[in-house]
Structure 1
Amino acid sequence: MSNDKAIAPTDLRDYLRSQGWSLLDEALADRLYMLENAAFPRRQLTYPMDVTAPDYEESVEIVIDKLAELMGQTSLSVASRVRSLRDDVVRLRVSFDGNDSTLPLSFASTLVGNTEKLLRAAACTVLRPRTHHARLTLCEAGQFVGAARFGQTEEGSFILNVACPIDALEVHGSLRSEASETPFVRQVTMSLHHGLSQLIAAIESDKLDRLIDDLKTTTTPLVSSNLCEALQGMHDDQVNNSLDVGFDWSLMRKVTDREKNRPIRVQRDYFSRIEEVRRELRAVELHEEDTFIGTVERLEGEMEQDGRRSGDVVLSLLLPDGGEAVRARVELSADEYDHAIRAHISNGAYIRVVGRLRPGRQPRQLTGVKKFELLW
């Protein structure tokens, strides 16, 4: 075992129980945890209940070694599993021809950054399902990423581990009402698994067009352009790597479906297809309406023959997803322009506008305006 922080006695107990070991109550009076398992007759595992016991660390190490031998695993892997008992662990394995136990430094940096983007995209999908998230800055998504921990890499290709404590946040997602009792972190990791599985299955069955059509029409899409962008960033053209995404579910909330315990493989030739999906889903934003609150920054309209003004106005709008302000240009009718004038000359006045905010450099274009009104 490594010299990391000592394993908590209750965590080791809970892990052993998840593996079929039963607690013997009679040993509790002596401040000992003693467990047995019908699958291993005449074998008992014993260690102190108190971390202050002189032989605590030695006893735990003996238990881990014995357990590893019985399970046919290494002591390090068993100890790691005990420490991540309360975590959903996302495991990203990068493999390619040659020495794939190391990565170019620039690609390693990109991989870490896109891992965060992948998790943020999944969290935003649970909170507000949509095919494109204009910003991945929702407060709860930031808290989720902040609670995640970067784990040690493993031998056998380059493997990046991210531990996500399942009870880190008390937040309710929007994907499914029946999932209200499921911890938010588990909703995020499960959503990520489902989304990746849908995407890869569509690529392998040559049904990407159907998947894209379904994503555009459903109210709860599990694949977003942001998720695709993060995956695309995990491929390097020179390295020409593939990617395996595995999930080690917390044993405190077991996942019994064997399919969910198998890694999802993104082969090197899949990344170009994922880019196609990203572009299609990113384009959906052009057709989505939204409601914006903002201020009138500049009036650029012209006088009409009836003596009233209409035309372009430059606004400062708050983006619904993150509170970031962007400048946008919009063409207004004479009645709408009157509201803009009143907002511009009134100190602290706000406007509400419903329309489509196009991507691009600022001031961005706001089109398809259906409502423009003054808020006092």
Structure 2
Amino acid sequence: MQDKARILQLAQHIFPTEARNYAKSRGWEPVAVKGRLWVFRHSNKQRLRQLIIPKDQEDDAYAEAIFEVIQRIADDEKRSPLSVASDLLMPNSDILRFRVTGEDAMTGTLLLEDAYSLFEGAKRAILSAACSVVNKTAHHLRMSRSEAEEMLKACKLGQTEYGSFVAKIACPLDAVETDIPLFDNDTPFVRKATTLLASACCMIVESIENDTVEPLMKKNSQSPIITSNLCDALIRMHGTRDKRKIGLDITWASNPSIPIPDVPNRVVFKSEYFRIIDQIGKSLRPKNEADYPQELLGTVETLNGDVGEDGRRSGEVILSLLLPDEGAVRAKVMLGAEEYADAVKAHEKGRSYIMVKGVLYRDIRIAYIKDIECFKLVDPGHPQ
């Protein structure tokens, strides 16, 4: 009953023309105009369905009529009525739902750190796809193209949904204006980006399920669609729980002048796929990326060392590295007693910066730094 009340509330704000445009874009056929009503039909193997959409939003019975329209669309698309209603309120946006399913997400909640990783991964997936629209490459060293940033700034965050935890992101089709010759048709930049994202995700899953990862990588090397950046984003979304699935559901904008793309709008990454996704991502990175030491700035998050025979503590430290265009990346490092003492000082001071020089390696859960040449506290007034 609460859901119905909420849907009726939303239904009152859905424009008649937007309900009509959505129906047409999903294959419902207009069959008649009866007075102040539009009538559509949709046939499948089981039954013939009808939609009756009133033209006058101010009618007392409008919300109930649109509620019935929403119910029938939801039944046809095997989605929740509440999801359909909320999508009808954003008709000019492609709606991306990055969905976490697992025992810990059934109540619509996640650990704060896991939720942050989901949203950060979703952001990076969008940026990766947007950059790939303009520059087809297997690895984007920087994801700071103006078109990608402009698209990201226009994206809006929606509410999560029951039975899972969902990062719902609305991508307005008119978010990016460009005069680049690449865009020589009427397909908006944003639609190109969301279509590329859907295609790349489907290609990854299909190659894993069909055991065709190697042929896909050869094909991808000639015309890159899948990037290391996307793989990193998916791994980040997966978080720390081994039995968790990540799904991507897309509701395409119902703009009548922009056709629905011929790509699947739903894909699921099972938990066991992420080890392979990590391998794919590593294969797409430049081969010499980890071959040389780098100066890395960060903070000390966790001290896991042990006291030795000399009474001094040394061992594992978890850092949060601040990498350009990547934000915070967790990394493990093994420190001797002197460097460990500096790590303790940084941790005790609270968010003090450290600088470590070494070779950074990536892994599916956490990065790690080897061949340490330098580890020291950084003057708080000069973090660079």
Q: Does 1:244 align with 2:247?
A: yes
User: 1:176-213, CA deviations, whole angstroms, 9 ceiling, x for partnerless residues?
Assistant: x6873311111101111111122222222223233333
Residue in 1 aligned with 2:192? 187
Displacement after TM superposition at 1:47 (Å):
4.4
| Cα distance change of structure 1 residues 59 and 173 upon mapping to structure 2, 3 Å threshold | farther
Residue among 227, 232, 237 paired with 2:230: 227
1:1-376 mapped onto 2 (5 Å cutoff): 1=7, 3=9, 6-18=13-25, 19-21=28-30, 24=33, 33-37=36-40, 44-48=52-56, 53=58, 55=59, 58-71=60-73, 73=75, 75-97=81-103, 100-101=106-107, 102-171=109-178, 180-216=185-221, 218=222, 220-238=223-241, 240-252=243-255, 253-255=258-260, 257=262, 260-261=264-265, 263-284=266-287
Displacement after TM superposition at 1:120 (Å):
0.1
Displacement after TM superposition at 1:9 (Å):
4.2
Report the secondary structure of 2:106's partner residue.
coil
User: 1:240-259, CA deviations, whole angstroms, 9 ceiling, x for partnerless residues?
Assistant: 311111221122234374x6
Give the number of equivalent residue pairs. 275
Gap regions ≥5 residues in structure 2:
1-6, 43-47, 290-323, 326-358, 362-368, 370-384
Instruction: Give the letter for the 2:203 counterpart.
Output: Q
Give the distance between the partners of 1:189 and 1:16, measured in 2 at CA: 21
Residue in 2 aligned with 1:294? none
Give the distance between the partners of 1:225 and 1:2, measured in 2 at CA: 44
Q: Check the 8 A contact 2:118/2:239 in 1, yes or no.
A: no
Displacement after TM superposition at 1:148 (Å):
1.3
Gap regions ≥5 residues in structure 1:
28-32, 287-320, 323-357, 362-376
Q: Check the 8 A contact 2:87/2:95 in 1, yes or no.
A: no
Displacement after TM superposition at 1:119 (Å):
0.1
Displacement after TM superposition at 1:277 (Å):
1.3
The TM-score normalised by the length of structure 2 is 0.62
Displacement after TM superposition at 1:135 (Å):
0.8
Give the distance between the partners of 2:214 and 2:360, measured in 1 at CA: 24
- Cα RMSD, aligned residues only: 3.4
Give the distance between the partners of 2:233 and 2:24, measured in 1 at CA: 37
Give the distance between the partners of 1:111 and 1:9, measured in 2 at CA: 35
Give the distance between the partners of 1:265 and 1:173, measured in 2 at CA: 34
Give the distance between the partners of 1:173 and 1:105, measured in 2 at CA: 40
User: 1:139-171, CA deviations, whole angstroms, 9 ceiling, x for partnerless residues?
Assistant: 110011111111121222112211112232233
Give the distance between the partners of 2:288 and 2:191, measured in 1 at CA: 28
Report the secondary structure of 1:260's partner residue.
coil
User: 1:67-90, CA deviations, whole angstroms, 9 ceiling, x for partnerless residues?
Assistant: 134446465344223113222111
Report the secondary structure of 1:221's partner residue.
coil
Report the secondary structure of 1:233's partner residue.
helix
Instruction: Give the letter for the 1:132 counterpart.
Output: H
Q: Check the 8 A contact 1:96/1:239 in 2, yes or no.
A: no
| Cα distance change of structure 1 residues 43 and 147 upon mapping to structure 2, 3 Å threshold | closer
| Cα distance change of structure 1 residues 2 and 154 upon mapping to structure 2, 3 Å threshold | farther
| Cα distance change of structure 1 residues 183 and 96 upon mapping to structure 2, 3 Å threshold | same
Identity percentage over the alignment? 27
Q: Check the 8 A contact 1:93/1:245 in 2, yes or no.
A: yes
Give the distance between the partners of 2:39 and 2:127, measured in 1 at CA: 42
